[in-house]
Structure 1
């Protein structure tokens, strides 16, 4: 019974009304054929010298058209048999083909679409509050959803197309159907009661979303991404509380992790006065020893909280053995990290340029961060951007050995792989690792499994 209003709603659209009118015309033609065949039935029977009532005539026509063929009333002449064939063929077309088709087209399909629409609601319950509204589902949104689910906070993904909404619903995501540039969509998404709206689409689409949401609510927090520096001010004027340039943030984060040039600590995070830093163990006296034997707390009062080993993180314990490929994750104050540096800064000092593979927005952000630190670099790209320093660019395919050698792969201490293609990044990581087994490689990955 709950599906009846939805089906009726489908039937009241302009296309559905036109189809219903066509169905009525076909039914009228069917009724007219039954009447014509009934009249002809009486004439042919009279020609054979027999008489039947009008009710019997309609009965015979319906039996023949439906292909039941009881055989209780038959013609004796060739004319009568020919007439029976005409009635039979007409009935086959109308009853066995057109009528089932029309039923499926105008009743069953709308009902199925109504059921599908119920899986992708067009509004959230009135009492929905404290949720996060997402305008798409990409890598950033997927990571955000995992955090929201971990913190048991609700969310909804706005989707404009029904087929896409059904696909995402079947994959387990909470979706709502609605156009992103329609204010009514956000009203039905209870944006006034939401905790935040996040939009990670194009700069122009994000501006439209922010402006539309601000027309409805002045208090909800709006966060959006920006690809161009010029878009930051525009998005803020449109109503965004926070504008994120992920490519630049990622580039700076990658640059902070370039530690293969020396054995000093490189700060990657901060909690008040407590700093989190990373330091390479290569070519230091730490290699091959257990943490309990090194006794770093006695010498620098710094804590080793974990170890990166070829891209895999593991918590550190007294029996953890430091390898040549290990990267220590340290926790301590600025003074404690400085004490560590005094012990190990004399080891593994390299002035060779860092090799950056990929000259996109992330690669350019890494280069800019290295310039601020006074670190030299070489960037490899097939089609270098004009904004790059041409003296530091190697044009070509990073999968070619000659290109990598020109960029200094055999001498550098660190390689940063920044392309947006995970498959390519995995390939280049393996390639560089085969060329230089002990080189420090920092790779970008969009998917957790990579």
Structure 2
């Protein structure tokens, strides 16, 4: 009862709802007028027929007749009385059975339900919230980001201007706030002054308006924006966005970078102070066929092999692990170390000859980014594109369907060392992967995945490597969120820095057995102002040291569980 009274009080306080209540009250008064009028006429007609009933009986007859219950215990004998009964019955059908429910729902129940829904979707965040991330768009990328920042205990809130959308997200368990995206008051209610970042992944025009509005509310908060069009880069920067990326181009460059056998130089994929993390394919180098011990890479170049990719699977290397043609080495070192590695490989600027052109399936934004990256590296390629308007732009385009064998033969499918599938439709990418794997069992197939859930399916379909658009966006934003504390690399490979746990003090690296017990490798030790890259296994860890480690998300979780930062 208290809850109902509270809701009624809230409803009556609202300006619009007060007007609705007045209309509802007027209707009820009209209904009561007819009820009293019919009761009086009932008495007069009964006296006309020579019968006398109490006023209670008159009210009883009027109610049963208007509500169409019609018990039949009291009836008129005269024609006038029967006509009166028909009038009362018809007016009851109109007023009680039609207009009353409609009026009640329209002016009372629906507004009350709307207020209930608004209460479920709040318009502000708690006063205690800080260090949170604000999302202005909800999609699969947002879901992936929310999951990732949740692993690090970072709070978030999604803001949307549509109440129903907010209710749907609320029912799915997301933290959501209702507010107009172009209203500065919305961001004040989101405590933007205490926020760590605002992620704006809307379309270019909407993002520009949102960024301007955010800057009106707060001039310093970090914002991350995606630009679909090249011209939008400058516009979004002028609007005030801290970081503007073209994630589709970044994905295209990453896909092109992973082609094996066309470039042997180490490719830097992450930087952590002086520490650089790079990838280098082993195909057609002197490393192929050797074990890590036999390669003596650390002694020769100074780099440390901290991991290996084998057909999109990352693992920590063992001394007797054999490096084959599909191996991609994950290296840790300084600029000098990587320069020595490149010189030892012997392919500083030259590109080794390939049997045929790299075949790119799809000439959209990602496909064109792949093409530009391959062109910059002087790698021969062909792009298969179905739309004639796009295919006519450059001579390296082949117009036609990627599922047409004649088109693929024309593009060089029979001689290509690698096939890159770039369409935004995961269903089509799976289809093309299966098809291309049947045509060229030995070729390297690299595919784009729009949704993370389709990565494993693409691997089963025959892709050697799958890069996810969602993972790329997540990686970029996570690295901005915790600079110099955590560096997320491709496919869930993380570099992170943590203070030395008391249990590890005065132990050597080799004696601490961090790698054996957690799966993480120590790639650097920060000691005061010095970053010791690839430290000697016999180094003694001291109080105040910070460890820079590399490992998968699972390995990082095992390390933090064994050596929680809250201790010591």
For the criterion TM > 0.5, the same-fold answer is yes
2:338 to 334, 341, 346: 334
Structure 2 partner of 1:12: 15
Offset at 1:264? 6.5
Give the Cα separation in 1 of the matches to 2:351 and 2:380. Answer: 19
TM-score by length of 1: 0.86
Offset at 1:411? 0.7
1:374-389 matches, within 5 Å, as 374-383=378-387
Offset at 1:95? 2.9
Give the Cα separation in 1 of the matches to 2:270 and 2:181. Answer: 36
Change in CA separation of 1:412 and 1:283 when aligned onto 2, cut-off 3 Å: farther
Offset at 1:212? 0.9
Structure 1 partner of 2:183: 182
Check whether the contact 1:261–1:414 (CA below 8 A) recurs between aligned residues.
Answer: no
Q: Determine helix, strand or coil for the equivalent of 2:414.
A: coil
Give the Cα separation in 2 of the matches to 1:43 and 1:4. Answer: 41
Q: Determine helix, strand or coil for the equivalent of 2:45.
A: helix
Give the Cα separation in 1 of the matches to 2:449 and 2:406. Answer: 25
2:360 to 356, 360, 365: 356
More off after superposition, 50-59 vs 123-132: 50-59
Offset at 1:3? 3.4
Structure 2 partner of 1:136: 137
Give the Cα separation in 1 of the matches to 2:10 and 2:225. Answer: 36
Give the Cα separation in 2 of the matches to 1:67 and 1:387. Answer: 74
Check whether the contact 2:384–2:399 (CA below 8 A) recurs between aligned residues.
Answer: yes
Change in CA separation of 1:79 and 1:282 when aligned onto 2, cut-off 3 Å: farther
Structure 2 partner of 1:111: 112
Structure 2 partner of 1:124: 125
1:302-341 matches, within 5 Å, as 304-317=305-318, 326-332=326-332, 333-334=337-338, 337-338=341-342, 341=345
Q: Deviations over 1:294-336 (max 9, x none)?
A: 7334796765544444444444446767676x33333243156
Q: Structure 2 regions of 5+ residues with no counterpart?
A: 455-568
* Mapped pair 1:276 → 2:275: no
* Superposed CA RMSD: 3.3
Give the Cα separation in 2 of the matches to 1:348 and 1:238. Answer: 45
Q: Deviations over 1:363-384 (max 9, x none)?
A: 1111112222121221111225
Check whether the contact 1:260–1:414 (CA below 8 A) recurs between aligned residues.
Answer: no
Change in CA separation of 1:314 and 1:106 when aligned onto 2, cut-off 3 Å: farther
Check whether the contact 1:367–1:377 (CA below 8 A) recurs between aligned residues.
Answer: yes
Give the Cα separation in 1 of the matches to 2:411 and 2:56. Answer: 96
Give the Cα separation in 2 of the matches to 1:273 and 1:238. Answer: 34
Check whether the contact 1:422–1:445 (CA below 8 A) recurs between aligned residues.
Answer: yes
2:436 to 427, 432, 436: 432
Structure 2 partner of 1:223: 224
Q: Determine helix, strand or coil for the equivalent of 2:137.
A: coil
Check whether the contact 1:257–1:266 (CA below 8 A) recurs between aligned residues.
Answer: no
Structure 2 partner of 1:418: 422
Give the Cα separation in 2 of the matches to 1:329 and 1:265. Answer: 9
Change in CA separation of 1:400 and 1:387 when aligned onto 2, cut-off 3 Å: closer
More off after superposition, 186-195 vs 61-70: 61-70
Instruction: Give the paired residue count.
Output: 442
Give the Cα separation in 2 of the matches to 1:184 and 1:163. Answer: 21
Structure 2 partner of 1:395: 399
Offset at 1:165? 1.0
Q: Determine helix, strand or coil for the equivalent of 2:220.
A: coil
Q: Deviations over 1:75-134 (max 9, x none)?
A: 344543453344344334433443234323332332322222222111112332221111
* Mapped pair 1:373 → 2:381: no
1:39-188 matches, within 5 Å, as 39-54=40-55, 56-67=57-68, 73-77=74-78, 79-188=80-189
Offset at 1:136? 0.2
Change in CA separation of 1:285 and 1:337 when aligned onto 2, cut-off 3 Å: closer
Check whether the contact 1:359–1:385 (CA below 8 A) recurs between aligned residues.
Answer: no
Q: Structure 1 regions of 5+ residues with no counterpart?
A: none
Check whether the contact 1:156–1:174 (CA below 8 A) recurs between aligned residues.
Answer: yes
Check whether the contact 1:67–1:88 (CA below 8 A) recurs between aligned residues.
Answer: yes
